[in-house]
Structure 1
Amino acid sequence: MSKIVVVDDDLFILQLLSEYLRKETYDVTSFSSGHNLVEHVRANTPDCLILDIMMPGINGLSLLTELRSFTEMPIIMISARGEENDRIQGLELGCSDFLSKPFNPRELVGRVKAMLRLAKSGGSGGIAATEEVSVHENSESIYKFGNVEIQPEFRKITVGNISLSLTSREFELLMFLAMHIERPFEREHLIQQVWKYDFFGDVRVVDDLVKRIRKKLGELDSMLQIDTVWGFGYKAIVRKV
């Protein structure tokens, strides 16, 4: 029996979601705050977590950051505000999916089922498998793309002699595209590579990431760039001098 944890300070929603999940024969544990949540996850290794963002005391985003330091279990975040920044920040910090309140509890149950199914199958999720380049780093590995150098082991990217400041998600996306230079990828495939799960939310989160990376690369006159492949997705290229 799969173990599900639900965290929400709204007791009505907490009870409603717990009841819907129990009807599917899941073993459900509920918390009305983030207190003791991390300890519970460490001790009980649940299969999926539903986590509200806005809670008194420690909020959902802070809890997500701590949880992602030791677990890759599927985490679905929910928020009453439904703001774009909440969605983007949650996805950047490592949540697997995001739902804005109000939502149909049956939709949440469907997403939980899909997440569990993908986790058991290794996260392949039906996206066509493609041959990947295997990169084995050592302390001296440096990949050069024009005036850009990438040191994967140290998660460091420099443009000229200037270090490029990137979030974890921005680094993962740019690194993946750079390791497959000139090769186009669909947004869904990039989501799978960067978040390590299939994602059931809005694929425009990739557009958000690309926009920010492009701005940072442009400010430093980077020769490594991300091109749009219209009607398909994105690819990395090296601009000629």
Structure 2
Amino acid sequence: MAETHVLFVEDDDVIREATQLALERDGFAVTAMPDGLSGLDAFRARRPDIALLDVMLPGMDGVSLCRRIRDESTVPVIMLSARADSIDVVLGLEAGADDYVTKPFDGAVLMARIRAVLRRFENAGGGAAGADPGDRGGRAERGLLVFGDLEVDTEGMEVRRGGVPVALTPTEMRLLLEFSSAPGTVLSRDKLLERVWDYGWGGDTRVVDVHVQRLRAKIGQDRIETVRGFGYKLRA
């Protein structure tokens, strides 16, 4: 089996070298770059399986690099941020990142996040756990769930809105599958973190909020309803 290839873009020499060694010891193949421009070149040359991007990079910052990568690929992206409360976290998620890790980070936490994101990417075609395409408010036929002009093909992993294909990242697809499996049912942010992001511990609910915003922009702003104090639900 081929090694999982990680693109790691970090301008701090010590962090870059130490993290590269840790990733390689854990069985990953690593391409490490010190700035955003060389990181973009490396991405285009190697097409990695996952990208780890520091937010603060010379030449091209990590948020801009994430946008450029997302314009070309649905490859999983994890942002590395020096501050958990930084606006850069939200900007990175809005740019298309799947998750983020706060620096300084524990190596075991980083590896767990990487493997969780890779599982989402690899299993995006497997459907949502516990999905029941029965009579829950949408029309279902052979894996096709229909909610108004929104069609979710749970077998082909395709989404169409008004007959037009909608491009979703694997994380966005997993999120939509969770909503589609129980239309009209309120799903809490913690429940979505557990089911979509594989968080077995408390996570940052901003990850959920930003992904819901991104999903709404693609499938319709009024399709997913906010239930204040509880979470979100897909309008049946």
TM-score clears 0.5: yes
Q: Structure 1: which 5+ runs fail to align?
A: 144-149, 156-172, 212-221
Shift of 1:68: 0.4
Partner amino acid, structure 1, of 2:89: R
- Decide whether the 8 Å contact of 1:64 with 1:93 is kept in 2: yes
Q: CA deviation at 1:106?
A: 2.2
Q: What 5-or-longer segments of structure 2 have no aligned partner?
A: 134-139, 151-160, 167-174, 214-220
The equivalences for 1:55-66 within 5 A come to: 55-66=57-68
Instruction: Measure, in 2, the Cα distance between the counterparts of 1:44 and 1:74.
Output: 14
Q: Is the 8 A contact 2:36 2:61 kept in 1?
A: yes
Task: Find the counterpart in structure 1 of residue 153 from structure 2.
Answer: none
Alignment of 1:38-57 (within 5 A): 38-57=40-59
Q: List per-residue Cα deviations over 1:26-72 (Å, max 9, x = no partner).
A: 11110011123223222322111110000112100000001001211
Secondary structure of 1:36's counterpart equals helix
| Equivalence for 1:198 | 197
Partner of 1:234: 232
Q: Structure 1 42/192 Cα, relative in aligned 2: closer, same or farther at 3 Å? A: farther
CA contact under 8 A between 1:68 and 1:94: conserved in structure 2?
yes
CA–CA distance in structure 2, aligned partners of residues 224 and 113 of structure 1: 31
Give the alignment's TM-score, normalised by structure 1: 0.64
1:235 CA drift (Å): 2.4
Amino acid at match of 2:44: R
Supply the distance in 2 between the matched residues of 1:56 and 1:186 (Cα, whole angstroms). Answer: 38
Q: Which residue of 1 aligns with 2:98?
A: 96
**Between the two proteins, what is the percent identity of the paired residues?**
30
Aligned length: 201
Alignment correspondent of 1:119: 121
Distance 1:72 1:101 in 2: 24
Looking at structure 2, the residues matched to 105 and 50 of structure 1 have their Cα atoms a distance apart, in angstroms, of: 13
TM-score where L is the length of structure 2: 0.65
Give the structure 1 partner of residue 76 of structure 2.
74
Max radius of gyration: which structure?
1
Q: After superposition, what is the alpha-carbon deviation per residue over 1:67-98, rounded to whole angstroms, capped at 9, x for unaligned?
A: 00121111110011333422222112211111
The 2-side partners of 1:177 and 1:25 are apart by 35
